[in-house]
Structure 1
Amino acid sequence: MLLVLDNFEQLLPAAIHLATLLATCPGLKLLVTSREPLHLRWEQIFPVAPLRLPDLQHLPSTESLATIPAVALFLQRAQALHPGLRLAANNARTIATICARLDGLPLALELAAARLSTLTPASLLARLEPRLSLLRWPAPDLPARQQTLRATLDWSYDLLTPTQQTLFRRLGLFAGGWTLDAVESIIQVEDERDAESVLDLLTALVEKGLVQVDEPSDETNGPPRFHLLETIREYALLRLHESPEAQRMFRCHAVWFLRLAEQAEPHWAGSQQLLWLQRLEQERDNLRAALAWVSTQAEAELEARLCAVMWPVWWMQSRLTEGQRWLEAALMRVASVEPTLRAQVMNGAASLTFLRGDYQQANTLYTEVLSARRAQGDPLGIAYALNNLGMVAMEQGDLGRAATHLQEGLALFRQQGQTHGTAFALDNLGRVWLYEGKDSQSESVLQEALSLWHALGNTQGRAGTLNALGVLAAHRRDAAQAAALHLESLALLQEVGNEHMIARCLEGLATITATSQAAVAAWLWRLAERLRDRAGVPKTPAERLYYEYTMTAVRDQLDLDKFPSGQADEESALTLDQIILDVQTRVEALRMSTGNFARSASQKSSTPRTTSRNPLSTREREVFRLMAQGHTNKEIAATLVIAESTAKFHVLSILHKLGATTRAQAIALAAQRGLL
């Protein structure tokens, strides 16, 4: 005999009678639906999860999409009210997104589908925030609690004890989930409950299906995480806002995650860098929620502290647009905070502004930071500010000023015994000397920087210096060594997830494959452009020159109409890991094949490309005429009213384009081609 009992959560005290029935009736089977366990000895639980959702990152065909349970239910209910609705290429992503936004909850999907009698899928999606007010359908054959999603959740909430209700509404604070220590800390701040009682309350909410337990990742051994479905979180936040504790709890949440980010700050220079990046990545949504709250309150100090500790994360993870938005908002309110903190916020804003290519604004902000550090008598702060001003001067083409700032900062770092700053300054100085053509000096300081990064265990720093050494190897026509260095850098950057630095590695590889493997070079540049666009980081002036050089070689061999098309659509769907694996596979294959890189190196130095078209730009032709007349870089700069370093960059580009290693060789090759 089978006895079916529905919605038994309303009668939980009667569960003991079910045990008696089972004990006295051996042939009896019970099928019980309940929002929480009955806690009987014979009980076998079968959790009913939300319906399976489509993967929005890799959307399947419309035929496959229609079979995914959440989409299938949504379509079934929508077509009952609007028979003409069909899943097609033009609405597939919209419908998949609606299902995902509703967490695959059957009632939410049915209530949303009912709205398609008057709304299109696109307009429904646009109105899904907030969800609770939209999801209603007063069908007379439905119980009142199922006619609106709010009523259903009210019913579940009313079944909770007062302490469970308190915890539930506070859990609405957490965006993207939480760990047990986070919720225990925030609860204890307010109620001074012990950890065991908080765990008991959380367990009760898990058993009632209101809280989800995340499946542990194979890659992490961290503590368990929990989350609310977004639809349920919206309801919890609504309840929290209705309570008198809302402001206090939002502040507790913001302070806790600020302290977590501040714990990470000392580790950015050393071997724990990746571990803390992963830890904060898990809490990305919580940190955003904390920033969003403090930015709307009279909490200038909290806002400044959060921005001051978060900007290195935004920098390392190429989240520059987001970071700059928070920093610019904080800068408008930092007048009231103490000077050291104000300088930290300005430094973060300057750093992201620099990466986004606004060198004038970055210079202004870094100069203010330097003045503040001098006023505070902070030698390390002064050294970092000088280093940063040196980077700006380098990208502005003033290599002399750049070297002066960097050497002054380097001396201060060495005096203070600051390894991270020393490595940073050496790396930047190596780049300046690389652009000046001082290859031996450049290699010396870059190798010293690399040793220091190794000693610190700093993954990001090692990757950056390896990239610079790769560029230096390419200057020396050692394409195989350049490729090896760029690939090593790429593998390290994959761990960090720094997209704009990964783009630089791809560009370095493109430069050394341009003359022998033009299709590969074009493909690498296309991938790099996608990463730069995503990160919001433009090419520096020097990088633009390398791009122009590379593309000249590519244009000589490929149909321009086919660049940069090809597999662009397929590539746009690739993850960062897939991009890197593809690059490593293809470039390693070139390295292992017979002499591809060797030919690339020798071609540039001894075999000029035979083309009737002048490969030089208008400005380069002006520079070349003066160069052929025997003028120095300084004289060329004065004649053309440009910076000496800019003239030097143009000369370097001319040598590359003509396949020459010296000025004399470039002039001879140009004469052979009739370019003089």
Structure 2
Amino acid sequence: MPSPPAGQVTLVFTDLQGSTELWERLGTAFQPILERHHAILRERLAARSGYEVKTEGDAFMVAFGLASDALAFALETQEALHAEMWPTETGPLLVRMGIHTGEPLCITDSATGRADYYGPAVNRAARIAGAAHGGQVLLSRVAWELAAASRSTAVGVSLGEHRLKGLERPEQLWQALPPSLSTRTFPPPKTVSARATNLPSPATSFVGREREIRELTALLCDPATRLLTLTGPGGTGKTRLSLRVAAELLDRFEGGVWFADLSEAKSAADIAEAVARPLGIPLADRSAPEERVATALAFRKPLLLILDNFEQVVACARETIGRWRDAAPEIRFLVTSRSLLGLAGEQEFEVPPLGVPSGHSASGQTSRLESFDGVRLFLERARESDPKFRPDSEQIPAVAELCLRLEGIPLAIELAAARLKVLKPTEMLARLDQRFQVLRSTRRDLPPRQQTLLGAVAWSYDLLAPWEKSAFHQACVFRGGFRLEDAEAVLSLPPDAPDGITAIQTLREKSFLRTTETPLGTRFGMYVTLREFGMARWAEQASAADQHALGHRHATRTVTSFPQPWERADGIVSQEDLDRLQAEEENLRAAGEWAAAAGETELACRAAVCLAPLLQLRGPVHGLRELLERAIATPGVREGKFQLQARHVLAVESGRIGDPGRAAELFREVEERAGPVGLPLLRLWAALGRHQFLRVPTGAPEAIAELREIAAAFRASGKPSGEVAAQVYLAARILQTDIPAALEVLNQAETLALRSPDPSAVLPVILERARVLELRGQFQAALDDLNRAEAVLRSRREKHRLATCLLARGRVMQLAGLSDRDYSTFAEAAQIWREAGAKADLAEALGAWGSLALMHRDMEPAARLLEESARLAGESGNSELSSKSLNALGLLRARTSDLAGAERILTESARASMAAGLHFRAAQANMFLADAWGAAGEWARALPPAEEAFRLYEAIGATSCLPPARISRGLVRLEVGRAAECAADQTEALRELEALGQGGFEIAIRGRIFLGRALAATGDFDGARRLLDRTREETAETVRNHPQLGGPLMEELKKLEAAVGRSAC
């Protein structure tokens, strides 16, 4: 199949005339006839190297790189269809065809690999096909002109200019037929040219808004809709949308579709004159113009009247539209206005911004980014401005980010595209803090208010009353939206203003505010462009005292809306709390930044502390650490409770991003100072946090004793969440030396956590217990826990603990043999941690990902991931994680034949792990070292670490690690001449693997091969042969399903074959 053409593409739409009637009449007998129709089209398509985009029933959409090929395809297909001997029941099949050339957006579906096309060129080609009759080929003017190479084989006739349904610009249509069919005659094209209208033909194409067009068309076709007002601030595309919808409805209104521009109107008489002019209504008599129009409309057939730019004459709405509706009930009014008209029966349609990528997806795949309407508009206008513009894969993400920053406002996007001649997208992004200077057009055919973004905003602003301007200025203090009650508390309006509710409603009705319905209630929001304009005007007009007072009211209202952590009854942050914090994140950050700059240290600290649950549970909060540092750096702030809480949050954040020294220092300071200022619970939390960075062995008795004391103190304070957290920390300390004891502690913690009404209270227990169950080999129990946790975490949108859950589940599924080379779970976890800037957690995710890649012999990604993991683990200051990462890195060195590097890394890791009380990691390092020596044939040197690894695993109760440790030790014993001991090791290991449900795993196959060799070495050749037969089949199956594991297994199998073969000698 040929590749889909890109750039300038000629599209052909085909449709079989009368197919519905044929299906109804012939039923299934029509199926082979339709299949022959399809075959003919596909034969001609292949002959002309066309690309089949899609079929829907009997209709085809195909694409060509050259217009001449498209025309040749159409002509040859018409001849082939005519020459075919069709059954008598159908007669000749007549296919209509439409051809148009343009530059549609081509997007390839990643799942199917099929390309599809989008944009105005596609719509125009489809409409041209819809205007044709069966057996007729219609082309647009541009397609006809570009098809010069095939015109000599066609009989072409110009059909004149036609207005096509749903398209704003008329199209000159050409008819083309092969000479052999040139005697065919057709009725006029099925267009809407006969309808009366004065709709202007826009100079540029219309992009997107398919959903809005469908909704508006349905509304205007509903008899109940007599007055529909499109609202929105300047630049949102109200006029273009109204014209596009009007073009869709040209054939619906017997009296026509009419457009009146009111941008220069100042009075009711001006409105009437603007309407009378296109409708041909004389205004010469003495009656008022609006009365004359009312009289004339009463005798008109049903029509649609579009009144554009009504906002500056809203006061005249009752005496014009109101009067005309009464006089002419059949007339429909479609109004564009930045303000509602305030008439009974008025329906509002708030024009939304164009679709743009969300913040985290603006750097995604090029084809996906180009599917957003905002990005498509930019690319369309860029090509119109510079036909040579072809963005590459690096520019598209910048364009997407630009459209996101411009909030999908069409005027802003078009003005940005016009700047491409002097600024690249990345350069525009760097200048967006000066958007009013950057976003200007040099076009002379635009009204002044559309030549600059500033002009568009100023036009609406100048129509506001003084008190409305004051309300608008003050509403700009909010970030990310606000609730009505917040505005009532923050706004301080002049004496002549109405109440706060009315003020907010007025700004909403005049398109300075938007409303969004959320699960937490109605929120009001504002475009950044409007807010920046309003803040600039406020800074110019308000006194310094008024500006300070507004900032203080906003900051105070924002931070006092949330309880502080020590004020919560149980210490649990509910999902509703998190959702409210998420909604107010930008307000809290703005309040904190203002307070820090104004020297209002307590307010700055309170704002930062409010944001802490978001940081810890749902992801990074931009600028929070910097805000915390600024707040606590102010002289004389160490004594207050809010400042100490801020220090505690900063300690947690410092540990998360890999600054353990700073974290430990801050935890100590908070622990020392919290008691004297009346915050005993904060002292306990700080003591608990400090335990992450204690420089003592993991199982040190003094550390364990202190954690038990902290748990008891939380219990005495009636804070079960604190007691649960302390027990989880305690289990983590015990885990490295006594796994069963750690599991007992966690089971006790679960009992306590389940008493809480909050389902999230048990999450810390589940996530820690999954590690223990994994080491115990209880994989299904671990998965049950993790699946249960994941459901809660996703519902709460907790990114951080979700990543921990995903990481644990990936490891368990890998060990349980339930996933094969599936890196997606680890990749998702790593992405969350990378975005959060959490070094330790990212190191763990990368380590697990790299270990899986190493197991599957994907050496290049394994090396990259494990190297980064080891570096980040070292920077994190977490000794357990450092040992874990070093062990994986040492195994990588061994697998890549760097024995010296493996020995150095693993020996040091084993020593450091034992010194830190990390017995599990010490066992792991010894086992990897034994494998490395064995791979080098140094079996005598492999025996001590193999023995030590098994001893440590057995001592701490690491059930799932015992079988591979036995198998490894048994192989070493075999190679040093202790075959009987090897046989005992392999037999016990295989029994344990069967108990764990891993009897068919690759590790079990190895165990059987080693057992066979041991039996042969001790003279039991019959037993060895039975194992050889079994492992041959198992190895063959493994090689088929996992080719990357085949090589090493085959090498081991050859050794068993050799051992059995010696028995025949």
Q: TM-score, normalised by structure 2?
A: 0.52
The equivalent of 2:858 in structure 1 is: 559
- Answering whether residue 105 of structure 2 is matched by residue 105 of structure 1, we say no
- Asked whether the equivalents of residues 479 and 586 of structure 2 are also in contact (C-alpha less than 8 Å), the reply is yes
3-state SS of the aligned residue for 1:104? coil
- Answering whether residue 322 of structure 2 is matched by residue 37 of structure 1, we say no
3-state SS of the aligned residue for 1:176? coil
The equivalent of 2:903 in structure 1 is: 618
- Answering whether residue 757 of structure 2 is matched by residue 487 of structure 1, we say no
- Answering whether residue 298 of structure 2 is matched by residue 13 of structure 1, we say no
Q: How far apart, in 1, do the equivalents of 2:918 and 2:668 lie? A: 23
**Structure 1 residues 93 and 623: CA distance shift in structure 2, 3 A:** closer
Q: How far apart, in 2, do the equivalents of 1:293 and 1:655 lie? A: 56
Q: How far apart, in 1, do the equivalents of 2:678 and 2:408 lie? A: 58
Structure 1 residues without counterparts, runs of 5 or longer: 567-610, 625-635
The equivalent of 1:662 in structure 2 is: 954
The equivalent of 1:23 in structure 2 is: 326
Q: How far apart, in 1, do the equivalents of 2:853 and 2:398 lie? A: 40
Q: How far apart, in 2, do the equivalents of 1:260 and 1:612 lie? A: 58
- Asked whether the equivalents of residues 616 and 800 of structure 2 are also in contact (C-alpha less than 8 Å), the reply is no
Report the CA distance between 1:180 and its aligned residue. 1.1
- Answering whether residue 470 of structure 2 is matched by residue 198 of structure 1, we say no
- Asked whether the equivalents of residues 463 and 488 of structure 1 are also in contact (C-alpha less than 8 Å), the reply is no
Q: 1:237 is aligned with what amino acid?
A: M
The equivalent of 1:313 in structure 2 is: 614
Q: How far apart, in 2, do the equivalents of 1:201 and 1:32 lie? A: 24
Report the CA distance between 1:77 and its aligned residue. 3.9
Q: How far apart, in 2, do the equivalents of 1:456 and 1:213 lie? A: 36
Report the CA distance between 1:346 and its aligned residue. 1.8
The equivalent of 2:522 in structure 1 is: 224
**Structure 1 residues 616 and 398: CA distance shift in structure 2, 3 A:** farther
- Answering whether residue 954 of structure 2 is matched by residue 651 of structure 1, we say no
Q: Which moved more, 1:114-123 or 1:424-433?
A: 114-123
Q: 1:403 is aligned with what amino acid?
A: I
Q: Deviations over 1:169-197 (max 9, x none)?
A: 11211221111111111126x66999x83
Higher strand share: 2
- Asked whether the equivalents of residues 564 and 609 of structure 2 are also in contact (C-alpha less than 8 Å), the reply is no
Instruction: Summarize the alignment of residues 103-502 of structure 1 with structure 2, pairs less than 5 Å apart.
Output: 103-137=407-441, 139-187=443-491, 197-214=499-516, 216-217=517-518, 220=519, 222-242=520-540, 243-244=542-543, 245-262=546-563, 266-267=567-568, 269=570, 273-319=574-620, 322-333=623-634, 335-336=636-637, 338-376=639-677, 378-393=679-694, 397=698, 399-440=700-741, 442-502=742-802
Larger Cα-atom Rg: 2
Q: TM-score, normalised by structure 1?
A: 0.79
Q: How far apart, in 1, do the equivalents of 2:646 and 2:702 lie? A: 25
Q: Which moved more, 1:615-624 or 1:222-231?
A: 615-624
Q: Deviations over 1:235-283 (max 9, x none)?
A: 1221222222322212211111111233676448456611100111011
- Asked whether the equivalents of residues 267 and 273 of structure 1 are also in contact (C-alpha less than 8 Å), the reply is no
- Answering whether residue 834 of structure 2 is matched by residue 536 of structure 1, we say no
**Structure 1 residues 428 and 50: CA distance shift in structure 2, 3 A:** closer
- Asked whether the equivalents of residues 390 and 403 of structure 1 are also in contact (C-alpha less than 8 Å), the reply is no
Q: Deviations over 1:551-596 (max 9, x none)?
A: 6676344332354999xxxxxxxxxxxxxxxxxxxxxxxxxxxxxx
**Structure 1 residues 399 and 528: CA distance shift in structure 2, 3 A:** farther
**Structure 1 residues 321 and 408: CA distance shift in structure 2, 3 A:** farther
Q: 2:446 is aligned with what amino acid?
A: L
Q: How far apart, in 2, do the equivalents of 1:386 and 1:305 lie? A: 21
Q: How far apart, in 2, do the equivalents of 1:309 and 1:159 lie? A: 39
Q: 1:651 is aligned with what amino acid?
A: A
Report the CA distance between 1:37 and its aligned residue. 2.5
- Asked whether the equivalents of residues 393 and 401 of structure 1 are also in contact (C-alpha less than 8 Å), the reply is no
Q: How far apart, in 2, do the equivalents of 1:53 and 1:346 lie? A: 38
Report the CA distance between 1:66 and its aligned residue. 6.1
**Structure 1 residues 395 and 322: CA distance shift in structure 2, 3 A:** farther
Q: Deviations over 1:146-168 (max 9, x none)?
A: 33222232221121122211111
The equivalent of 1:573 in structure 2 is: none
Report the CA distance between 1:488 and its aligned residue. 2.2
The equivalent of 2:396 in structure 1 is: 92
Report the CA distance between 1:526 and its aligned residue. 3.6
3-state SS of the aligned residue for 1:224? strand
Q: How far apart, in 2, do the equivalents of 1:675 and 1:184 lie? A: 84
Report the CA distance between 1:444 and its aligned residue. 2.8
Greater RCO, CA 8 A, separation 6+: 1
Instruction: Summarize the alignment of residues 502-581 of structure 1 with structure 2, pairs less than 5 Å apart.
Output: 502-515=802-815, 516=817, 519-520=820-821, 522-539=823-840, 555-561=854-860, 563=862
Report the CA distance between 1:522 and its aligned residue. 4.8
Report the CA distance between 1:650 and its aligned residue. 0.8
The equivalent of 1:594 in structure 2 is: none
- Asked whether the equivalents of residues 353 and 362 of structure 1 are also in contact (C-alpha less than 8 Å), the reply is yes
Report the CA distance between 1:285 and its aligned residue. 1.5
**Structure 1 residues 142 and 151: CA distance shift in structure 2, 3 A:** same
- Asked whether the equivalents of residues 681 and 714 of structure 2 are also in contact (C-alpha less than 8 Å), the reply is yes
Q: 1:662 is aligned with what amino acid?
A: E
Q: How far apart, in 1, do the equivalents of 2:391 and 2:712 lie? A: 66
Q: Which moved more, 1:427-436 or 1:130-139?
A: 130-139
Q: 1:223 is aligned with what amino acid?
A: G
**Structure 1 residues 166 and 428: CA distance shift in structure 2, 3 A:** same
Q: How far apart, in 2, do the equivalents of 1:540 and 1:69 lie? A: 37
**Structure 1 residues 560 and 412: CA distance shift in structure 2, 3 A:** same
- Asked whether the equivalents of residues 261 and 306 of structure 1 are also in contact (C-alpha less than 8 Å), the reply is no
**Structure 1 residues 517 and 71: CA distance shift in structure 2, 3 A:** closer
Q: Deviations over 1:54-96 (max 9, x none)?
A: 5665579867866755445444443443332234434222223
- Asked whether the equivalents of residues 274 and 459 of structure 1 are also in contact (C-alpha less than 8 Å), the reply is no
3-state SS of the aligned residue for 1:251? helix
**Structure 1 residues 619 and 539: CA distance shift in structure 2, 3 A:** farther
- Asked whether the equivalents of residues 833 and 841 of structure 2 are also in contact (C-alpha less than 8 Å), the reply is no
Q: 1:36 is aligned with what amino acid?
A: S
Structure 2 residues without counterparts, runs of 5 or longer: 1-254, 259-274, 276-305, 866-894, 932-945, 956-961, 978-1065
Q: Which moved more, 1:1-10 or 1:466-475?
A: 1-10
Q: How far apart, in 1, do the equivalents of 2:376 and 2:682 lie? A: 59
- Asked whether the equivalents of residues 913 and 922 of structure 2 are also in contact (C-alpha less than 8 Å), the reply is no
Q: How far apart, in 2, do the equivalents of 1:76 and 1:468 lie? A: 53
Q: How far apart, in 1, do the equivalents of 2:409 and 2:920 lie? A: 63
3-state SS of the aligned residue for 2:560? helix
- Asked whether the equivalents of residues 518 and 553 of structure 1 are also in contact (C-alpha less than 8 Å), the reply is no
**Structure 1 residues 139 and 652: CA distance shift in structure 2, 3 A:** closer
The number of equivalent residue pairs is: 611
3-state SS of the aligned residue for 2:524? strand
Q: How far apart, in 2, do the equivalents of 1:41 and 1:434 lie? A: 72
Q: How far apart, in 2, do the equivalents of 1:157 and 1:540 lie? A: 50
